[in-house]
Structure 1
Amino acid sequence: MKLTTPTMMLMLALAVTAANAQAVEWRGLLDLRAVDSDAGRSFLDSGLAKTRYDENSPRLSIGQAVLRGDADLLDSVSASVELSADQQHRGVVDVREAFISWNPVPEGAWKTRVRAGFFFAPTSVEIDYDSVGWVPKHTISSSAINSWIGEELRTNGVEWSARRLGRYSGAPYDVGFVVAAYTGNDPTGTLLAWRGWSISDRIAGRNDTLKLADLPVYRPPDGRLLRQSRDIHPFRELDGKLGYYAGANLNFGTRLELAALHYDNLTDPTVVKDGQYGWRTRFDHVSAVWRPQGQWELALQAMRGDTLMGRNGVGLDFQSWFALLSHPLGPGTAAVRYDRFSTTEHDNIPSDPNNEVGYGVALAYDWPLAESWSLMTEALLVRSERSARVLIGEAALQKERSLTLSLRWKF
């Protein structure tokens, strides 16, 4: 398992300090799956279908296994590491997050935090941040937006955030800001261009790879981009430049939560290294969570951006949004999510079509069985049209249906 020097040093520091920490909390998640799907060849098998499971996937499998350790090092300093295991990932066991946090004692209304390491950016309203594994709260699959974030985006750097608590100043709201500088997201955009959006719960690890479909544009001997490897390493650093994101959020108690974030990896799109092209990828993201009376919850999230590789060798705009409505029903919680997604190309290789349009509908029910056990079921429909599928012998228009049962043990 190949790790960069900073990552190895961070993991070593976490292991050594955690062993001597005053308080260490270990948590985990084991997710057992039963799946019935009629989808064509999954993107995990070098196809261009949108879902993790297809008609040839095993009916029973381990969806994911996650172990997380949180250690209090000092009064205001903590360390966290999260490991995952999945037979659909390279190397099986990998690192999802590993970082150190500094949470100084607040002075007045402002509360600040600094994180350094490898971690998820604060970009999702459907993920359960109080749990482990970066999993959705009410569904099994993630939306198209958060499926992509889970596969191609990770902060490998430093993040500063601050929140002004309204209760200290008599204001009816809290306001927050976040800014980060990072490396290692230079290939981000590769999957959106040549695979497109997905709706799944696959989360990439630090050293993960994904094999692209066998498209003619990088297929020997006549492809236009022969330096491109089919094996994608999403968290590689190629040009030595820092990227950044910056955002703000506004919360009116738990009733209404608003957030916005701008992301730009500032990558040099002309760089090619070890079979990976640099992709200049940037996007704007907005979200809202509204909780009216009656325990209803409505989560909305939208993203619009663009990505460019080479001197307009491959370039496209991308858009996606979703709405998720949930409410307690019987002993559990029912949820419905509607997704829309698309990509629009504007590049110099017409023989490499990367346009697509599609939507997805997920119906889910989460049933707590015991203190640490739950059973979740999800019916998923995804309809998408992508002309590049014809180049590998697939139909441009595909409908994918699946029914998934997830038995989860949290410990």
Structure 2
Amino acid sequence: MTVIDRLIFRCICLSVLTVHSSAQSMAWSEVEHHVSGVVDTRIGYADSSDSYLSGGLGKFSANNGSQIALSQLGLSYHTLWGDAWSSRIIANAYVDGINNGLGLTEALVRYRDIPSESGIRLDVEFGLMYPKISLENVATAWASPYSLTYSTMNSWLAEEVRHIGLSTTIESLGQYRQSAHDFSLTAEAFMFNDTTGAILAWHGWTQTSRQTLLQETLPITTIPAMQPDGMLAEQAANSDPFTELDDRIGAHVVAKWTWRNKGSVQAGYYDNNANTLIVKQGQYVWLTQFGHVGAKWLLPYGVSFTSQYMQGSTLMTNTDGLPVVDNDFHSGYVMVSKRWLQHRVSLRVEDFSVTDNDETPEDDNNEDGQSLTVAYQYQLDKPWFIQLEYNVIDSTRPARKYLNQSIDLVEQQWQVSSRYFF
């Protein structure tokens, strides 16, 4: 993130705090303050290669071998005033021995009015936020209540698909028209996400529980094309996921139907509307577009079903418009989860790929893989959970030959976690 970008974001954070302070001085109802968080400590073992966090091509956030980590220390400060206004600031910290850090992951102001007599409600948010996509990461500080590691799709969102923008949702609430069906339409306009797609291209899909912090940049695996005589020689060693280079506004739309006490279905389209002719300080602008669908449903015997699918493309060119990296991609998962008494068991299966369409030498981004996650959770008391999890990823990635690794690789991970929500 450039100095200008940081200044702009600080102004946004200041506006969140200023709106809150102003509300206290106005003749509105008393301001409510809520602090919540999560402390997630883990012991684990990975049978893998070097983590993508250290510039490798391993699929997990942990390096090969055993580790003890503070996998998430998340803190959410939420204020409410009046019937409609609120703000939220979320910070996360990680101590994993690879990429320790502390910083902001979300910061926004929200206006959510009272429904009209016909059940129409307006919901507006402004600030640093995730696009409204994930059906998996619904717990405190964007954690998942089902598994320790996110799906590959939501891991990518956590890593480089966030933005500073304006999100407007119009809801139609069925209870006001004697119906069990709710409908909503969300339109988002955003900036500060011009490199989205770079990390997906150069290390592929991963599984993680780590969200990129605002001030962080992400290491790129060194490949021959990035050597001084390669086509990617001008690319910086790290990608900055929250930079603004082309001053263009992207868009995201999502339509959602909810059948109360049954489930929900949603579909959306994302386009960062990037100008790929721009490169500044080793950061190229990437045009990234994708569609996504998802469903969350309650099955018989109290089994919850969650599934999401994403398909799209990402393009990076040189300043003459010649394609340098041109990829298609997809990722999808199906997850079932059953909770009873103090127990929860979750099972998730995934399929993912990247298809390299360009002819850039020594930069093969092709990838194909499948993943399985099995998680068991035991609730010690209301806020405290012990969780065991097993992940296995079977993937083929030709770029591993650049690091003298096997193109076909099966990676496994075992974890035991203590998660305390407050």
Give the TM-score of the pair, scaled to structure 2.
Answer: 0.93
Map of 1:275 onto structure 2 = 282
Deviation of the 1:91 alpha carbon: 7.2
Give the stretch that moved more between structures: 192-201 or 83-92: 83-92
Take 2:99 and 2:392, find their aligned partners in 1: how far apart are those partners?
Answer: 28
Counterpart among 296, 300, 303 of residue 296 in structure 1: 303
Whether 2:123 is the aligned partner of 1:121: answer no
Map of 2:8 onto structure 1 = 6
Deviation of the 1:155 alpha carbon: 2.9
Deviation of the 1:17 alpha carbon: 5.0
DSSP-derived class of the 1:320 partner: strand
Take 1:49 and 1:319, find their aligned partners in 2: how far apart are those partners?
Answer: 19
Take 1:318 and 1:137, find their aligned partners in 2: how far apart are those partners?
Answer: 27
Indicate if the aligned counterparts of 1:46 and 1:214 stay in contact, CA closer than 8 A.
yes
- Tell me the percent identity: 28
Take 1:53 and 1:284, find their aligned partners in 2: how far apart are those partners?
Answer: 30
Take 2:304 and 2:382, find their aligned partners in 1: how far apart are those partners?
Answer: 23
Map of 2:27 onto structure 1 = none
Deviation of the 1:61 alpha carbon: 1.1
Map of 1:308 onto structure 2 = 315
Counterpart among 210, 218, 236 of residue 243 in structure 2: 236
DSSP-derived class of the 2:105 partner: strand
Take 1:339 and 1:229, find their aligned partners in 2: how far apart are those partners?
Answer: 32
Counterpart among 202, 211, 231 of residue 219 in structure 2: 211
Take 1:178 and 1:287, find their aligned partners in 2: how far apart are those partners?
Answer: 15
Q: Deviations over 1:279-334 (max 9, x none)?
A: 00000000011212311111111000001000211101001110001112562110
Matches within 5 A, 1:83-122: 83-87=91-95, 92-108=101-117, 109-122=119-132
Deviation of the 1:372 alpha carbon: 1.6
Counterpart among 157, 161, 182 of residue 153 in structure 1: 161
DSSP-derived class of the 1:86 partner: strand
Indicate if the aligned counterparts of 1:17 and 1:73 stay in contact, CA closer than 8 A.
no
Take 1:99 and 1:66, find their aligned partners in 2: how far apart are those partners?
Answer: 16
Whether 2:36 is the aligned partner of 1:27: answer yes
Q: Match for 1:9: what amino acid?
A: C
CA RMSD between the two structures: 1.7
DSSP-derived class of the 2:165 partner: strand
Q: How many residues align?
A: 407
Counterpart among 131, 142, 152 of residue 134 in structure 1: 142
Deviation of the 1:156 alpha carbon: 0.7
Whether 2:257 is the aligned partner of 1:246: answer no
Map of 1:385 onto structure 2 = 396
Take 2:99 and 2:250, find their aligned partners in 1: how far apart are those partners?
Answer: 26
Q: Deviations over 1:27-71 (max 9, x none)?
A: 111110110111111111111011111224x52110011111001
Take 2:357 and 2:15, find their aligned partners in 1: how far apart are those partners?
Answer: 45
Counterpart among 328, 335, 351 of residue 339 in structure 2: 328
Indicate if the aligned counterparts of 1:291 and 1:298 stay in contact, CA closer than 8 A.
yes
Whether 2:266 is the aligned partner of 1:259: answer yes
Map of 1:36 onto structure 2 = 45
DSSP-derived class of the 1:159 partner: strand
Q: Match for 1:38: what amino acid?
A: D
DSSP-derived class of the 1:288 partner: strand
Take 1:121 and 1:377, find their aligned partners in 2: how far apart are those partners?
Answer: 29
Take 1:10 and 1:224, find their aligned partners in 2: how far apart are those partners?
Answer: 37
DSSP-derived class of the 1:41 partner: coil
Take 1:103 and 1:86, find their aligned partners in 2: how far apart are those partners?
Answer: 32
Q: Deviations over 1:207-255 (max 9, x none)?
A: 2111111111112x21211110121111111100000000100011131
Deviation of the 1:19 alpha carbon: 5.9
Deviation of the 1:146 alpha carbon: 0.3
Deviation of the 1:274 alpha carbon: 1.7
Take 2:11 and 2:116, find their aligned partners in 1: how far apart are those partners?
Answer: 32
Question: Aligned pair in 2 of structure 1 residues 81, 34: CA closer, same or farther (>3 Å)?
Answer: same
Counterpart among 67, 73, 86 of residue 75 in structure 2: 67
Take 2:342 and 2:102, find their aligned partners in 1: how far apart are those partners?
Answer: 35
Whether 2:397 is the aligned partner of 1:403: answer no
Indicate if the aligned counterparts of 2:151 and 2:333 stay in contact, CA closer than 8 A.
yes
DSSP-derived class of the 1:59 partner: strand
Indicate if the aligned counterparts of 2:223 and 2:362 stay in contact, CA closer than 8 A.
no
Q: Match for 1:124: what amino acid?
A: S
Q: Match for 2:208: what amino acid?
A: S
Indicate if the aligned counterparts of 1:46 and 1:211 stay in contact, CA closer than 8 A.
yes
Map of 2:362 onto structure 1 = 351
Runs of at least 5 residues in structure 1 that lack an aligned partner in the other structure: none
Indicate if the aligned counterparts of 2:235 and 2:284 stay in contact, CA closer than 8 A.
yes
Q: Deviations over 1:153-212 (max 9, x none)?
A: 113110000110112113331111000100011100001111111111121111211111
Counterpart among 286, 294, 306 of residue 287 in structure 1: 294
Take 1:191 and 1:332, find their aligned partners in 2: how far apart are those partners?
Answer: 36
Give the stretch that moved more between structures: 169-178 or 260-269: 169-178
Q: Match for 2:207: what amino acid?
A: I
Deviation of the 1:348 alpha carbon: 2.7
Question: Aligned pair in 2 of structure 1 residues 73, 172: CA closer, same or farther (>3 Å)?
Answer: closer
DSSP-derived class of the 2:406 partner: coil
Runs of at least 5 residues in structure 2 that lack an aligned partner in the other structure: 25-30
Indicate if the aligned counterparts of 2:132 and 2:254 stay in contact, CA closer than 8 A.
no
